[in-house]
């Protein structure tokens, strides 16, 4: 006898469990923090992301939050961020970076290969 609350499954297919709904509470006193830089480190078991804030004309910054995640959860976050950035850019246009000192520090130019100079 079939259960009227469950949809019919095609022949030869295992029944699938209904999707679970997860409720997340946000505490009323939770403070949002602004970060304009992140430092990322890792061990074989975890990824650590320190979100920091550096203010203009200030030689020192402060870590505002530290998030520790498993590598798998970090990769899921990376994937979700990529999807959200793509959605944002479809709606609002490409996010452009100004040329900054960071460009100079983190740009990569491969060495000249096969050059006789």
Q: What percent of the chain has pLDDT over 90?
A: 60
pLDDT for position 117: 47
Average pLDDT along the chain: 83
Domain map (residue ranges) of the chain: 37-95
pTM of the predicted structure, to 2 decimals: 0.64
27: DSSP letter: -
H or E element that contains 48: strand 47-53
Q: 9-62 pLDDT, tens per residue?
A: 556 666 677 788 999 999 999 999 999 999 999 999 999 999 999 988 888 999
What's the rounded Cα separation, in Å, for the pair 94 and 90? 8
| pLDDT above 70 for 109 | no
Do residues 76 and 94 touch, judged by C-beta distance below 8 A?
Answer: no
């Amino acid at each position: 006898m079939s259960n009227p609350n469950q949809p019919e499954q095609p022949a030869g297919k295992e029944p699938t469990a209904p999707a679970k709904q997860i409720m997340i509470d946000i505490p009323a006193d939770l403070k949002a923090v602004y970060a304009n830089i992140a430092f990322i480190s890792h061990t074989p078991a975890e990824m650590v992301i320190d979100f920091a804030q550096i203010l203009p004309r200030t030689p020192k910054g402060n870590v505002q939050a530290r998030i520790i995640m498993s590598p798998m959860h970090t990769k899921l976050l990376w994937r979700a961020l990529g999807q959200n950035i793509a959605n944002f850019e479809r709606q609002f246009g490409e996010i452009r970076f100004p040329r900054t000192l960071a460009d100079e520090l983190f740009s990569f130019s491969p060495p000249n290969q096969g050059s006789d100079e």
